Structure formats: C-alpha cells, structure tokens
C-alpha cells in the first residue's frame, strides 16, 4: 500500500513521486505585499555570522523570533497551501538568506530523516522572494534520488551517500529556475544543492516543512561518525522547533539506541542504480 497523496493535483503528485521534486505556482506577485513586508520586518534580526554565507531563522537560536516568523509566514501561506496540499500538516516556516559571492555554492546534500519515509511524506517547500536563476543561487536536484536508497540522515554529521561520486552526480543535476510566485516542493531524501549567488544582493527565500498529517515523528542523532551509534527520539512536531539546529532534544534521553551502517555509493553502485553507461 502506497503513501496517501499529499498534492491535490494528480499530475504534480506523480512528478513528485517520480522525480522527488516538482515546481508549483503558489501566488501572483501582486499578492505578495504582506509576504515582503514580513521579510522586511524580520530581516534585521537575521544577521550573518562570521564566515557564513547561508543563514536561516532557526540558526539565530532566538526562540521568540523563530516562533513569530513561523506564525506570520504560516498566516500568509495558509490558504495558498490548502489549495495545493491535502492530508498535510506544517512543521514550521522560516526565512533563508544566502549572501553573494563566488564561494557560496551549496553542495548537493540530503535533508534529515524525521519519520518513516516509506509510510509518510516529509517535504520541504522552497519559496524564493524574487526570481531565481543560475546567477543568484538557483536550486538543482538529482531526479529520482529519493528512491535510490532510503538512508537515515541526521545531525550533527553523517557520511554523504553521494560523497564519493559527486563527479558523476553534477552532470545529472536538473536546474529549477523560479519566477516570483513560484516554488519547488521536494522530498527531504532528494539530493539537492544550489548554485553560487553571483548577484549583488542576498538571495532571499522562505522554507516550509510539510509532512503527512498522520506521521509519527522521529529524531535521530549520530553520536559517533565512525562507529555510528544512533540515538532515536520519539518527538512531537512542535518539539522539533524548540532545540538548536544540529543538537539533541532538550532534557531528553533517547528512546532507543542502535548501530547503523551508513551506505555510501561507489562509482559502480551509482552507475548501476542510476542506469548510467
């Protein structure tokens, strides 16, 4: 039995299932006044740290700011999300800022595992606050990568499934240019990254966590990169927004401990699975 659909449009749902990402239309540019005002209101509280080119609301560790930003963004997006998604819930919403410069590529990666991805959808909705092209940090994805291996992914670090085959990965990436008002929905297991921001301004965007509404949440923590002893926590969605990025849940002991061998592709593995010659 497959997962319940999470997109109302069957054609978009099929693309998401096949490719691991899909472009959608979310609003008209002339409808975005409140969204841009929200960004202007909170932008001064999102100062970049030294030697950092990628910054999100969650990185601030300002829990009141995190809560307020998520609340205001969800308020603007609520009716729009309802037109696109079904049987879903929202984990949270935040701003992402990417500074300009040649060394601002975000290397292809996968996002954390938060649930049983064979049973539930764990998605991100990425919404740029302006047109996004290859010049200012456009996203790119490896089609179908969410289905190659359903590996566990977690903080503070884990071996990149594709780390040894990036030379094979880059030529296969699909770029997704977006106009203001468009967005891209992607599976957290889909390999994705972004071009450097070679413009003269920040690349500004919103990220929204979307998941199947009946999903049971998990949080995994890798205690040792070499021996891979994994802590597993049963958590509530609202709890996920209360501890810092890369850290464990607050004042909690893990519900389970287990050993895990992180899969890593060899060149031959990747060629076979991705059907490359």
Give the pLDDT confidence of 142-157 residue by residue, as tens digits. Answer: 999 999 999 999 999 9
Q: What is the mean pLDDT of the chain?
A: 93
> Which pLDDT band, with edges at 50, 70 and 90, does 251 fall under?
confident
How far separated are the first and last CA of the chain, in Å rounded? Answer: 33
What is the C-alpha separation between 40 and 80, in angstroms, rounded?
21
> What stretch of H or E contains 63?
helix 63-84
Write down the pLDDT at residue 227: 66
What tokens appear for 118 in the block?
Answer: 């064979």
What is the C-alpha separation between 65 and 42, in angstroms, rounded?
8
Helix, strand, coil percentages (3-state) for the chain, rounded to 5, are 25, 30, 45
What is the C-alpha separation between 46 and 98, in angstroms, rounded?
11
Write down the pLDDT at residue 263: 95
What is the C-alpha separation between 28 and 234, in angstroms, rounded?
39
Write down the pLDDT at residue 149: 94
Domains of the chain (ranges; CATH) run 10-216 (2.60.120.620)
* Better-predicted residue by pLDDT, 277 or 21: 21
What is the C-alpha separation between 113 and 127, in angstroms, rounded?
21
> Which pLDDT band, with edges at 50, 70 and 90, does 8 fall under?
very high
> Which pLDDT band, with edges at 50, 70 and 90, does 225 fall under?
low
Write down the pLDDT at residue 276: 85
Distances (CA, A) of 263 to 123, 149, 162, 226: 22, 8, 9, 13
Other CB atoms within 10 Å distance of the CB of residue 162: 21
Q: Tokens 């049987």: give the residue.
A: 87
Q: What is the mean pLDDT of residues 48-54?
A: 71
Q: Phi, psi at residue 176, to the nearest 5°? A: -130, 85
CB 219 within 8 A of CB 114: yes
Give the pLDDT confidence of 62-108 residue by residue, as tens digits. Answer: 999 999 999 999 999 999 999 999 999 999 999 999 999 989 999 99
Write down the pLDDT at residue 242: 83
Write down the pLDDT at residue 50: 62
What is the C-alpha separation between 229 and 143, in angstroms, rounded?
31
Handedness of CA 96, 97, 103, 105 (dihedral sign): positive
Q: Beta-strand (E) ranges in 74-141?
A: 88-98, 106-109, 122-128, 139-141
The answer to whether residue 47 scores a pLDDT higher than 80 is: no
């Amino acid at each position: 039995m497959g997962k319940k659909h999470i997109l109302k449009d069957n054609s978009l749902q099929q693309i998401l299932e096949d490719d691991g990402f899909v472009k959608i239309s979310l609003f008209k540019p002339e409808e975005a006044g409140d969204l841009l005002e929200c960004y202007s209101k909170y932008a001064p509280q999102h100062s970049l740290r030294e030697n950092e080119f990628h910054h999100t609301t969650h990185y601030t560790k300002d829990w009141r700011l995190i809560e307020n930003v998520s609340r205001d963004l969800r308020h603007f997006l609520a009716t729009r999300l309802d037109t696109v998604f079904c049987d879903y819930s929202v984990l949270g919403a935040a701003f992402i800022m990417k500074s300009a410069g040649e060394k601002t590529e975000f290397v292809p990666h996968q996002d954390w595992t938060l649930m049983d991805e064979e049973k539930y959808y764990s998605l991100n909705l990425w919404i740029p606050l302006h047109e996004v092209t290859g010049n200012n940090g456009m996203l790119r994805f490896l089609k179908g990568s969410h289905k190659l291996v359903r590996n566990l992914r977690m903080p503070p670090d884990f071996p990149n499934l594709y780390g040894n085959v990036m030379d094979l990965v880059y030529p296969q990436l699909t770029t997704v240019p977006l106009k203001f008002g468009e967005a891209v929905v992607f599976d957290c297991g889909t390999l994705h990254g972004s071009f450097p921001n070679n413009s003269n301004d920040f690349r500004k965007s919103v990220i929204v966590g979307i998941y199947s509404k009946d999903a049971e949440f998990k949080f995994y923590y890798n205690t040792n990169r070499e021996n891979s002893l994994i802590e597993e926590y049963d958590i509530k969605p609202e709890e996920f927004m209360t501890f810092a990025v890369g850290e464990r849940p607050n004042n909690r002991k893990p519900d389970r401990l287990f050993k895990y061998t992180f899969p890593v592709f060899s060149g031959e593995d990747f060629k076979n699975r991705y059907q490359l010659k």
